[in-house]
Amino acid sequence: MIVVGFLYGVTGVVFALPSNNVRQWRLAAWVLSAALYATHIGYERFRLGDSSLATASHAATAVALGAFILAGAATIHKAVATSPAPYSRFMLAFVIWPLITAVPAFLVALVAGTVLTRLRRSV
């Protein structure tokens, strides 16, 4: 869970570095993050045999950790580069970004875990 969360954060930071073809790099970051997310859910459900609730909790925690890392990177960037946004918004990002990413990640992983369990039982 911690490793996957760290990978989310690193992906977001590293793929934001190139200044050319920004859309393609962002799309690549989304695709890699989606692959990490799906792999994490599959690993939790099939390899570890965790319940749907545990899988969803672990996936959401990893996503929240990645968002927290991104908020930290944005705050560091704010300190280094000039930005018109107030510094307080960056401090607020440490709370808001993990929340707004973890809640949907939990719900999607919960549904995915339940569907995977039902599919596995029917086969």
Amino acid at 37: Y
Q: What pLDDT was estimated at residue 20?
A: 92
pLDDT, tens only, 27-70:
999 999 999 999 999 999 989 988 999 999 999 999 999 999 99
Q: What pLDDT was estimated at residue 62?
A: 97
pLDDT, tens only, 12-27:
999 998 889 999 999 9
- Residues 85/78, Cβ–Cβ less than 8 Å: yes
**Global confidence as pTM:** 0.89
Cβ neighbourhood burial of 19 (10 Å; 0-12, 13-18, 19+)? exposed
pLDDT, tens only, 92-112:
999 999 999 999 999 999 999
**Percentage of the chain surpassing pLDDT 90?**
72
Amino acid at 75: T
Q: What pLDDT was estimated at residue 66?
A: 96
- Residues 22/83, Cβ–Cβ less than 8 Å: no
Give the span between the Cα atoms of 109 and 57, in whole angstroms.
Answer: 8
